[in-house]
Every structure is written in structure tokens, then in C-alpha cells.
Amino acid sequence: MIVAIDGPSGSGKSSVAREVARRCGLTYLDTGAMYRSVAYLCLERGVDPADDEATERVAREARIEFVPDGEGQRVIANGEDVTAQIRTPEVERAVSPVSANPAVREVMVALQRAAGAAGDVVAEGRDIGTVVFPAADVKVFLCASPEARARRRAVQRLGGNLATGDVVEVDAEAERTILDDLVRRDAYDSTREASPLRPADDACRIDSSDLGFEEVVDAVVSLSPELAARAQKGRS
């Protein structure tokens, strides 16, 4: 079974996909982390993310692995644990040109499809339901207002997590900077030529702006009798 969850940055895709996978006994595939890993490797090597040919070489040489870590997972790129490094503002800014590179997307999509062919997965990203797994059993487009997404990302960067109720105080100016970055990335991702951000025609749209984390997860699970049955089995 394949569950595809797409949506803009900060919409809660990763947290929701991870929890749906946990409840239903599926494998969580964080495709965004794959592009972020390539962006991080570019920055580490002094490669301009806007240099398509050089970035393609980095992507083709990259070895990206996901290693279970309790209820989460660590991201390993070329043998280095980059779980924290790929969530920095620098990588956030660099990942848009990397993910817009058609050659890089070709490499990453092949890896993602191989992971899907190996077993039941919940995959999240921006083109999962439209390009990577167009025949996915469940397709979700998870969205939220830019303001709600900026708040979540600001709290996350300070070590908190609104999904789990772990709230921390954030600086208003820093949150505004994040909001501006999100709006800019939304425009970039939605207008790029290679796999632009858009909902699949048959995707279910879920706006998480005013929903609690558990409500969003419940909404996704309820979209499929098989998912609901798997979740029920996991509770019993």
C-alpha cells in the first residue's frame, strides 16, 4: 500500500506522515530530507545549488539512508548523520533550486520509487501523488495558511513541536523572516518547470490551519478502509 502526502513547506507533512506510518505499520519515506541532503552536500562542497550540472553530480554520488531511531529516524548522507544539519535556514534557502533541477529530481524519484516497490510506504513531499506515485492508494494534499506554517517552523527551530504540544516562545522578527521565506518558496515551488507543487486531481485536500495534530492524522487514516483497519489492528 502506498500513501502519498503532498503539500507546501511547514504544512506538517513530515509529522503527519510519520504518525500515519507508525499507526498503520507502514514505512515512512521522507522525500524532502533527500533533497535537503543534496542541498547540504552542495553547501559543504562549495557547490552553487543553482549550478545544475555540478548539483546533478552531487546528487548522483550521494548515498542517502534512513536509519530507525526510536520512533523516529536519522538521515545519513555519505556516511554522515545530517539529521539536524538539513533543517538549518541555510539549507532551507538552498533546497529550492536543488529540488527544481530536473536531473536531480530524476535521481531522487528513481530512489523513491525503488523504496515504494520494496514495501508499504507513506511518502511525503511536493510531487508524490502527481509524479512519484501517481497510482498511490491514498493521496492527500496537506495545506495550511502561511502564518500557521511559519509559527510551526519557528517553534521547530527552537526545539519545540506544536504537534506534540511542546510550545516555546519565538521571536516575532524571526517568525516574520520565516514567513517571508515560506511565501517565497511557495511561489518558487508552484511555478518551477520540473514537478511543480500542486495537488493531484484525485487528492483529498486537508487544511490543517485550525486542526490539531491528532485530528489531521485521524482525517488521513479515515480516507481508506485499509488504513483504518491497519490502525485498528495496531491498537489491539
Shared-domain flag, residues 215 and 158: yes
| Domain termination residue (choose one: 119, 146, 166) | 119
Does 219 map to a domain? yes
Does 232 map to a domain? no
Least confident of 90-94, 114-118, 162-166, 178-182: 162-166
- The string of DSSP codes covering the chain is -EEEEE--TTSSHHHHHHHHHHHHT-EEEEHHHHHHHHHHHHHHHT--TT-HHHHHHHHHH--EEEEEETTEEEEEETTEE-TTGGGSHHHHHHHHHHHT-HHHHHHHHHHHHHHHHHS-EEEEESSIIIII-TT-SEEEEEE--HHHHHHHHHHHHTT-BGGGTB-----HHHHHHHHHHHHHHHHHHHH-SSS-S---TTPEEEE-TT--HHHHHHHHHTT-HHHHHHHHHHH-
Shared-domain flag, residues 220 and 131: yes
Could you tell me which of 7, 1, 3, 2 has the C-alpha nearest to residue 127? 7
Mean pLDDT score across all residues of the chain:
91
Domain range for 85 is 30-119
Contacts of 188 (CB under 8 A, 6+ apart): 96, 100
Count up the domains in the chain and report the number: 2
Shared-domain flag, residues 138 and 212: yes
What average pLDDT does the segment 116-145 reach?
94
pLDDT score of 73:
86
For residue range 27-46, what is the model confidence (pLDDT) as tens digits? Answer: 999 999 999 999 999 999 99
User: CA 43, CA 80: separation in Å to the nearest integer?
Assistant: 14
What average pLDDT does the segment 106-124 reach?
92
pLDDT band with cut points at 50, 70 and 90 for residue 68: confident
pLDDT band with cut points at 50, 70 and 90 for residue 163: low
Name which residue leads in pLDDT, 164 or 47: 47
pLDDT score of 21:
93
For residue range 183-223, what is the model confidence (pLDDT) as tens digits? Answer: 998 998 888 888 888 999 999 999 999 898 999 999 999 99
